[in-house]
């Protein structure tokens, strides 16, 4: 790394800045300016953008077909080189755009200089980055689909499996595991639609906006937009070169999705703990301890939870970068890429990890059922029974139920372990029929309101979910 004292070096004036600077950029300037260490991942998009641009220039008669062919051949050669050897990192060339152009000049000579006609790095980077983010969105949707598919499969398998439902992490009412898993299905479906919306909105091509104001050359922007897979060109050149909300759309969707994955991971972490024992995580997604042989750590789930924090941090990073920038391009915007690349890597991994965790975990259903039976989870069912069968106002029924819970605790039994005499002593209006309501099975079966936890409803939602995913029945 350059020292702050060596402010100048002896390199000759950078070709891009031409004669305005007597000396080359200082080592520090070169280092702070260089984005090639991270934007080299855009090489495919950059070459695709250039090929589309030069083909259009030729069609419009702005460069000759022969020059365009030469340029295109050179670009294809560069693509093959990068594919084979990776992208060289030379800070003097600043970024991927200059790196490709410099190599093109080496290969085909001065004609390479015609490629940048009617173009600026400002519309170039906006186009490259948009294409990259578009692909990241598509990957996110595919990754979500894998988790969704696993959730539906496991929900169907466990439509009748009873577990405690919690509020405040206290046993509240029995629910089915299928219902619990389908709650995450709903969250991830909304995440999916956020990525799909983002894709729709970013479906406009900035190329041809040039530096900021458009260009005097007679471009056909529809041709480049179509060649690069966009629905249409952007409508305002100032907006096109300085808009980064396509990246923020991706990041906010990624944040929300990571947050959901983090909550799901947290469930698995709790369920896998010994006191719960609700799930045995797949070997492939757990680790052992180097010192405690009995340990089986939910590291993958914990990292999914951890990664959510980083993804949210990436989103904040780009929002803060953008918030004070006047139109149009400012170099601050070069800092747009690292947070997006980082977040995308984290999200892709988190989705893959959670798909595996949902698909391959072994749910310990007897243990879940026992936990549901232990926490007086059917207390609400007793109260509801008193309202329905004995026409007692709910508040009073709640009070009577409280007395029954207290007695059950004293006797060390579940609510349905109390005798009819026990119950009659609490309130004479209770009769034998109450036992039909007090089992956990009766409790979940009773919650058959639309969207409720009853197995019939869960099966109905599984079928609907399969249809929404286009899964075969
Ligand atoms: N490396 C730059 C970036 O990522 C490319 C655009 C440079 N444009 C400019 N006017 N300096 O933003």
The 3-class SS string of 304-325 reads HHHHHHHHHHHHHHHHHHHCCC
- pLDDT, residue 289, reads 76
Q: How far is CA 463 from CA 30, 44, 175, 186, in A?
A: 59, 41, 19, 14
Confidence of residue 471 (pLDDT cuts 50, 70, 90): confident
Q: What is the CATH architecture of 34-117?
A: Orthogonal Bundle (1.10)
Atom of ligand 1 nearest to the CA of 329: 10
Delimiting residues of CATH 1.10.275.10 domain(s) in the chain: 34-117
Query: In the Cβ-directed half-sphere of 353, how many Cα atoms lie within 13 Å?
Result: 25
**Cα 429 from Cα 391, distance rounded (Å):** 10
Q: Which of 3, 168, 290, 449 is catalytic?
A: 168
Give the phi and the psi of residue 304 in degrees, each rounded to 5: -60, -45
Cα of 6 from ligand 1 centre, angstroms: 25
The reply to whether 168 belongs to the active site is: yes
**Cα 241 from Cα 219, distance rounded (Å):** 17
Q: What is the mean pLDDT of the chain?
A: 93
Instruction: For the chain, give the percent of residues with pLDDT over 70.
Output: 94
The reply to whether 158 belongs to the active site is: no
Could you tell me the pTM of the whole model? Answer: 0.91
Nearest CA to ligand 1 atom 11: 331
Atom of ligand 1 nearest to the CA of 94: 1
Confidence of residue 8 (pLDDT cuts 50, 70, 90): very low
Mean pLDDT of 404-415: 92
Delimiting residues of CATH 1.10.40.30 domain(s) in the chain: 379-438
Nearest CA to ligand 1 atom 1: 95
- pLDDT, residue 18, reads 53
Cα of 218 from ligand 1 centre, angstroms: 24
Atom of ligand 1 nearest to the CA of 39: 4
Instruction: For the chain, give the percent of residues with pLDDT over 90.
Output: 86
Q: Which of 95, 210, 241, 327 to mutate to test the pocket of ligand 1 (most atoms within 8 A of CB)?
A: 95
pLDDT by residue (tens digit) across 430-468?
999 999 888 999 999 999 999 999 999 999 999 999 999
- pLDDT, residue 27, reads 85
Confidence of residue 9 (pLDDT cuts 50, 70, 90): very low
Atom of ligand 1 nearest to the CA of 333: 12
Site residues for ligand 1, CB cut-off 6 Å? 35, 39, 95, 121-122, 125, 329, 331, 333-334
**Cα 364 from Cα 368, distance rounded (Å):** 6
- pLDDT, residue 15, reads 55
Nearest CA to ligand 1 atom 7: 121
Delimiting residues of CATH 1.20.200.10 domain(s) in the chain: 122-215+236-370
Give the pair of three-digit tokens for residue 418: 């109390």
Atom of ligand 1 nearest to the CA of 35: 1
Mean pLDDT of 351-357: 98
- pLDDT, residue 193, reads 98
- pLDDT, residue 1, reads 41
Cα of 12 from ligand 1 centre, angstroms: 21
- pLDDT, residue 285, reads 87
Nearest to 415 by CA among 392, 386, 382, 393: 382
Cα of 384 from ligand 1 centre, angstroms: 66
Q: DSSP assignment, residue 287? A: B
Confidence of residue 7 (pLDDT cuts 50, 70, 90): very low
Nearest to 181 by CA among 100, 263, 105: 263
- pLDDT, residue 295, reads 77
Nearest CA to ligand 1 atom 3: 334
Q: Which listed CATH number (2.60.40.420, 3.40.50.620, 1.20.200.10, 3.30.450.30) goes with 122-215+236-370?
A: 1.20.200.10
Cα of 408 from ligand 1 centre, angstroms: 71
- pLDDT, residue 106, reads 98
Atom of ligand 1 nearest to the CA of 337: 4
Helix (H, G, I), strand (E, B) or coil at 202: coil
Cα of 56 from ligand 1 centre, angstroms: 23
Least confident of 25-29, 42-46, 73-77, 394-398: 25-29
Q: What is the CATH architecture of 379-438?
A: Orthogonal Bundle (1.10)
Q: Which of 15, 273, 289, 330 is catalytic?
A: 289
**Cα 357 from Cα 300, distance rounded (Å):** 9
Mean pLDDT of 245-252: 98
- CB-CB contact of 470 with 464 (8 Å): no
Cα of 83 from ligand 1 centre, angstroms: 24
Nearest CA to ligand 1 atom 12: 334
Least confident of 141-155, 160-174, 378-392: 378-392
Nearest CA to ligand 1 atom 10: 122
**Cα 464 from Cα 319, distance rounded (Å):** 37
Nearest CA to ligand 1 atom 4: 334
Helix (H, G, I), strand (E, B) or coil at 260: helix
- pLDDT, residue 10, reads 42
């Amino acid at each position: 790394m350059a020292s702050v004292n060596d402010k100048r070096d002896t390199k000759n004036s950078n070709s891009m800045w031409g004669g305005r600077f007597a000396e080359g950029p200082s080592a520090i300037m070169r280092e702070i300016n260089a984005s090639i260490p991270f934007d080299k991942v855009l090489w495919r998009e950059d070459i695709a953008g250039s090929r589309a641009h030069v083909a259009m220039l030729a069609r419009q008669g702005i460069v000759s077909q022969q020059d365009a062919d030469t340029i295109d051949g050179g670009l294809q050669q560069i693509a093959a080189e990068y594919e084979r050897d990776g992208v060289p990192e030379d800070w003097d060339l600043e970024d991927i755009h200059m790196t490709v152009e410099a190599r093109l000049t080496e290969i085909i000579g001065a004609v390479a200089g015609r490629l940048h006609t009617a173009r600026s790095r400002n519309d170039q980077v906006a186009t490259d980055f948009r294409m990259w983010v578009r692909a990241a969105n598509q990957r996110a949707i595919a990754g979500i689909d894998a988790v969704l598919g696993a959730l539906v499969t496991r929900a169907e398998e466990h439509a009748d499996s009873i577990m405690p439902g919690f509020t405040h992490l206290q046993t509240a009412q029995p629910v089915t595991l299928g219902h619990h898993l389908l709650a995450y299905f709903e969250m991830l479906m909304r995440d999916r639609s956020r990525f799909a919306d983002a894709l729709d909105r970013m479906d406009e091509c900035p190329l041809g906006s040039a530096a900021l104001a458009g260009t005097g050359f007679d471009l056909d922007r529809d041709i480049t937009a179509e060649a690069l897979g966009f629905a249409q060109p952007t409508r305002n050149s100032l907006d096109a070169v300085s808009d980064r909300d396509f990246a923020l759309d991706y990041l906010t969707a990624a944040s929300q999705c990571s947050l959901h994955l983090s909550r799901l991971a947290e469930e698995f972490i709790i369920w896998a703990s010994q006191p719960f024992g609700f799930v045995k995580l797949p070997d492939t997604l757990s680790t052992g301890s180097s010192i405690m042989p009995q340990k089986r750590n939910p590291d993958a789930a914990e990292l999914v939870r951890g990664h959510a924090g980083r993804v949210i941090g990436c989103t904040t990073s780009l929002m803060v970068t953008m918030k004070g920038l006047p139109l149009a391009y400012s170099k601050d915007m070069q800092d747009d890429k690292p947070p997006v690349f980082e977040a995308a890597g984290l999200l892709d991994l988190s989705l893959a990890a959670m798909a595996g965790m949902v698909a391959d975990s072994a749910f310990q259903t007897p243990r879940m059922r026992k936990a549901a039976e232990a926490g007086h989870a059917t207390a609400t069912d007793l109260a509801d029974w008193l309202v329905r069968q004995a026409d007692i106002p709910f508040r009073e029924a709640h009070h009577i139920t409280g007395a029954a819970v207290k007695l059950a605790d004293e006797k060390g039994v579940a609510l349905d372990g109390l005798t009819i005499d026990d119950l009659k002593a609490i309130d004479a209006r209770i009769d034998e029929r109450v036992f039909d309501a007090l089992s956990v099975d009766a409790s979940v079966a009773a919650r058959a309101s639309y969207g409720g936890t009853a197995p019939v409803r869960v099966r109905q939602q599984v079928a609907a979910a399969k249809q929404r995913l286009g899964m075969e029945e």
